[in-house]
């Protein structure tokens, strides 16, 4: 039960914030604070402070204008501090993460009277690695020609980067750079940044001679001293996959806030998927004997080197031969692959791989495991030997991340082939398995779970002290069933759908105009849309047109007249942030501007007032039919006697439409129009379900 003291502290903090900011209390915001506070404040603990309660999770759907950050911060921060737990706020997008760190939390701390500290947590890849910078600077002299062996994992030999690395060193020396990628004055391309950053595999941790000055570990020490950590979904999931507590606090000592929570299931699926590029892996393996010989030459007798070199070379040769056998098995499937020219995919129906591929998978798994066990001995020997007193410390520091990367790649490959060996459990969601054929002759073997509810339950929900998930799009018409099943949260936890503060019927109109064509006849529909857009958007200062595919967007753009095209900002021509900034500059200058975008523009952008007066949704955003994960899940549902279209495609499309419609009204003073150019909303039985899921705009349906 929420204590009287905590209840009073939360109420006073909220009242003070409203008073100092001149805000008006919103019922939906008060309700969100109450739901979160009552959920987290009712968690029972034992004498050691460990959770006893079974349902410590609060799921809140709250639309734009609710003030979600204020609500969950005001409710959760006092409770976390009182219980001695850490609050981790995780977002799906960088934009929201930056808004919370730079604007929201400083504002809440200043005006609420709450005393709390906070910090931003990033993965290792966001920080400069001093050891790798040293190696990159040495690479110009080619003192160690082994540097060129790992183009995809180790150091790029591009000489144009040397000036950049020297500038980094100079700015570090002057103290005007903190070693973070995001604070460098210009955009850093991956091919320049990756050689001087690291990950948890190649980082040598305390064994590194630069450990005391390491930017990542300094930041990590800071986040373990603050009350609130702002992170992202990916870092939370990565930490959980490493056992929890590796980068962030342990789940048992953490209350998580998952903002933009509708992204969490897909983020998790991506984290638990694996793949292997067959021809690239062959090329990489061919480099290993030479690399091992160089290692033996530099380090001498270590981990079985050099006496086991012949055995290692034989293992590598055997593995290359097995990969070639896999290529021979899957190559005939190229003719049956579907998709775009750049990459065509062949998906195994139901996730059941070809028997010939299953048979060779066991051989590949064993071959990778055998080689991995041998290279693990080398890594362990290097780790055991590393200390400041060793005269070869510099060489050891170089070779440790090299061999660690080898082991990680072998281990990941073994995991993939083990996945192809196993038979999915009857009655449980299967694994999607497919082959991608690229236009450069590369072949990618992939496997992915289609459902992560059990995994999230095991790694996160069963372990965390408490959690809040929130977004504007979690339920379909108030029903959380689809989201609850996807994310694996027990239905006895608290689920709430809050009414929006917007007066939808007064502020906006939803139109479905009369049209002749059906979107399933793509060419006819594209032509009709191109004819409608100029009239629909005439006189509009700021507009947003959302398309279902690149092809559709470009076809319609090319069919428009030159005068209208001059108003259009097309996704892909500029970065997302630059498109938004350009739209605002144009409108501030008294001009009209229209954004053409895909799904990524249907959420996460803020264009209030005149910046977006009309949103056009060109067609119902059903899932792409060639997605192997979605297709495999649909097959499984149909095989059980279900209806995948009704259970998956319609609810997911409804959520995407709500997200898209959410671009129109950003404040309580905004107004405008939403046009949906898809008559299936009127002609098909599921159309009414989709319309019912949308906010109650005033409607004009022809």
Q: Per-residue pLDDT averaged across 237-247, rounded?
A: 94
Q: What is the SS3 assignment for 682?
A: helix
Choose between 189 and 1: higher pLDDT: 189
Q: Do 695 and 636 meet the contact criterion of CB atoms below 8 Å apart?
A: no
Tell whether 221 is covered by a domain.
no
pLDDT of residue 136: 86
Choose between 64 and 456: higher pLDDT: 456
**Residue 504: which of 36, 51, 63 has the closest Cα?**
63
Q: Per-residue pLDDT averaged across 116-125, rounded?
A: 94
Tell whether 339 is covered by a domain.
yes
Q: How does pLDDT run across 598-650, given as a tens digit for each residue?
A: 999 999 889 999 999 999 999 999 988 778 999 999 999 999 999 999 999 99
pLDDT at 670 over 90: yes
pLDDT at 145 over 80: no
Which own/partner pairs from 91-95 qualify as long-range (CB within 8 Å, at least 24 positions apart)?
A: 91/230, 91/231, 91/232, 91/233, 91/259, 91/260, 92/232, 92/233, 92/259, 92/260, 92/263, 92/264, 92/267, 93/232, 93/260, 93/604, 94/232, 95/577, 95/604
**Residue 122: which of 180, 76, 72 has the closest Cα?**
180
**Residue 168: which of 152, 188, 142 has the closest Cα?**
188
pLDDT of residue 403: 94
Tell whether 68 is covered by a domain.
yes
Whether 515 and 478 map to the same domain: the answer is no
Tell whether 147 is covered by a domain.
yes
Whether 108 and 19 map to the same domain: the answer is yes
Whether 160 and 191 map to the same domain: the answer is yes
Token reading at 211: 């450990």
CA distance 595 to 579: 8
pLDDT at 142 over 90: no
Calculate the CA dihedral of residues 116, 120, 124, 127 and round it to 10 degrees. Answer: -120
Whether 601 and 625 map to the same domain: the answer is yes
Cα dist. 624→254, 628, 653 in Å? 37, 10, 11
Tell whether 627 is covered by a domain.
yes
Structural domain boundaries enclosing 209: 124-216
pLDDT of residue 95: 82
Asked if omega into 306 is within 30° of 0 (cis), the reply is yes
Whether 112 and 142 map to the same domain: the answer is no
Domain end among 465, 497, 529: 497
Tell whether 533 is covered by a domain.
yes
Tell whether 511 is covered by a domain.
yes
Question: Helix %, strand %, coil % for the chain, to 5?
Answer: 55, 15, 35
Tell whether 142 is covered by a domain.
yes
Whether 391 and 524 map to the same domain: the answer is no
The CATH number of whichever domain residue 70 belongs to comes to 3.40.50.300
pLDDT of residue 340: 72
Whether 554 and 670 map to the same domain: the answer is yes
Whether 289 and 436 map to the same domain: the answer is yes
Domain end among 497, 531, 556: 497
Q: How does pLDDT run across 341-369, given as a tens digit for each residue?
A: 678 999 999 999 999 999 999 999 999 99
Q: How does pLDDT run across 459-513, given as a tens digit for each residue?
A: 999 999 999 999 999 999 889 999 999 999 999 999 999 989 999 999 999 999 9
| Alpha helices, H only, 473-599 | 481-487, 504-507, 522-536, 550-559, 562-565, 576-588
Q: Per-residue pLDDT averaged across 531-541, rounded?
A: 96
Tally of domains in the chain? 4
Whether 193 and 312 map to the same domain: the answer is no
CA distance 547 to 540: 19
Strands of 614-617's sheet, edge to edge? Answer: 568-570, 593-597, 542-546, 614-617, 672-676, 508-512, 698-701
Whether 480 and 511 map to the same domain: the answer is no
Domain end among 434, 464, 497: 497
pLDDT of residue 693: 93
Please identify which residue in the block is written with the tokens 């001093």.
130
Whether 335 and 445 map to the same domain: the answer is yes
Whether 145 and 34 map to the same domain: the answer is no
């Amino acid at each position: 039960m929420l204590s009287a003291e905590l209840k009073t502290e939360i109420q006073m903090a909220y009242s003070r914030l409203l008073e100092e900011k001149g805000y008006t209390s919103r019922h939906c915001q008060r309700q969100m604070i109450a739901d979160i506070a009552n959920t987290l404040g009712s968690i029972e603990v034992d004498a050691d402070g460990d959770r006893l309660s079974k349902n410590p999770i609060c799921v809140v759907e709250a639309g734009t204008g609710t003030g979600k950050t204020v609500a969950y911060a005001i409710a959760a921060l006092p409770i976390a501090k009182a219980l001695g737990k850490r609050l981790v706020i995780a977002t799906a997008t960088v934009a929201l993460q930056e808004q919370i760190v730079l604007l929201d939390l400083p504002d809440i701390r200043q005006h609420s009277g709450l005393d709390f500290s906070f910090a931003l947590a990033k993965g290792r890849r966001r920080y400069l690695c001093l050891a790798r910078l040293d190696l990159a600077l040495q690479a110009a002299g080619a003192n160690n020609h082994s540097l060129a062996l790992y183009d995809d994992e180790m150091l790029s030999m591009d000489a144009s980067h040397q000036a950049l690395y020297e500038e980094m060193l100079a700015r570090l020396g002057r103290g005007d750079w903190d070693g973070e990628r995001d604070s460098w004055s210009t955009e850093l391309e991956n091919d320049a940044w990756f050689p001087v950053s690291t990950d948890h595999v190649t980082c040598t941790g305390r064994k590194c001679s630069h450990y005391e000055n390491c930017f990542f570990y300094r930041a990590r020490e800071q986040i373990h001293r603050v009350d609130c950590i702002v992170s992202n979904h990916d870092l939370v999931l990565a930490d959980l996959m490493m056992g929890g507590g590796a980068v962030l606090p342990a789940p048992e000592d953490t209350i998580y806030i998952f903002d933009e929570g509708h992204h969490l299931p897909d983020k998790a699926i991506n984290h638990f998927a694996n793949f292997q590029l067959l021809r690239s892996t062959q090329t990489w393996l061919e480099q290993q004997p030479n690399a091992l010989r160089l290692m033996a030459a530099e380090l001498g007798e270590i981990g079985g080197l050099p006496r086991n070199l012949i055995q290692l070379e034989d293992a590598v040769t055997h593995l290359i031969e097995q990969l070639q056998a896999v290529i021979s098995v899957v190559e005939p499937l190229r003719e049956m692959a579907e998709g775009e020219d750049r990459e065509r995919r062949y998906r195994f129906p139901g996730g059941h791989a070809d028997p010939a591929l299953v048979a060779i998978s066991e051989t590949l798994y064993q071959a990778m495991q055998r080689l991995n066990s041998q290279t693990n001995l080398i890594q362990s020997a290097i780790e055991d030997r590393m200390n400041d007193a060793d005269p070869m410390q510099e060489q050891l520091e170089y070779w440790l991340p090299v061999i660690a990367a080898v082991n990680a790649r072998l281990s990941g490959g073994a995991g993939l082939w083990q996945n192809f060996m196993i038979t999915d459990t009857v009655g449980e969601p299967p694994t999607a398995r497919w082959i991608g054929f690229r236009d450069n002759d590369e072949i990618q073997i992939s496997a992915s779970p289609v459902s992560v509810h059990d995994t999230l339950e095991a790694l996160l929900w069963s372990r965390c002290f408490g959690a809040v998930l929130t977004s504007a799009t979690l339920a379909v018409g108030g029903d959380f069933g689809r989201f609850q099943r996807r994310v694996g949260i027990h239905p006895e936890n608290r689920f709430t759908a809050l009414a929006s503060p917007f007066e939808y019927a007064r502020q906006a109109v939803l139109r479905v105009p009369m049209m002749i064509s059906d979107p399933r006849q793509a060419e006819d529909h594209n032509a009709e849309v191109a004819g409608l857009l100029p009239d629909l958007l005439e006189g509009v200062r700021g507009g947003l047109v959302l398309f279902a595919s690149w092809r559709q967007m470009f076809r319609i753009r090319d069919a428009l007249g030159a005068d209208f095209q001059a108003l259009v900002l097309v996704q892909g021509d500029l970065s997302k942030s630059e498109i938004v900034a350009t739209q605002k500059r144009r409108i501030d200058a008294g001009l009209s501007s229209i954004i053409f975008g895909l799904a990524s523009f249907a959420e996460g952008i803020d264009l209030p007032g005149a910046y977006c007066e009309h949103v056009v949704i060109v067609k119902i955003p059903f899932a792409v039919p060639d997605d192997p994960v979605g297709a495999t899940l649909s097959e499984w549902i149909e095989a059980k006697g279900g209806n995948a279209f009704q259970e998956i495609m319609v609810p997911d499309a409804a959520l995407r439409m709500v997200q898209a419609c959410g671009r129109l009204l950003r404040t309580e003073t905004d107004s405008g129009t939403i046009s949906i150019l898809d008559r299936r909303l009127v002609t098909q039985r599921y159309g009414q379900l989709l319309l019912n899921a949308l906010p109650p705009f005033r409607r004009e349906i022809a």
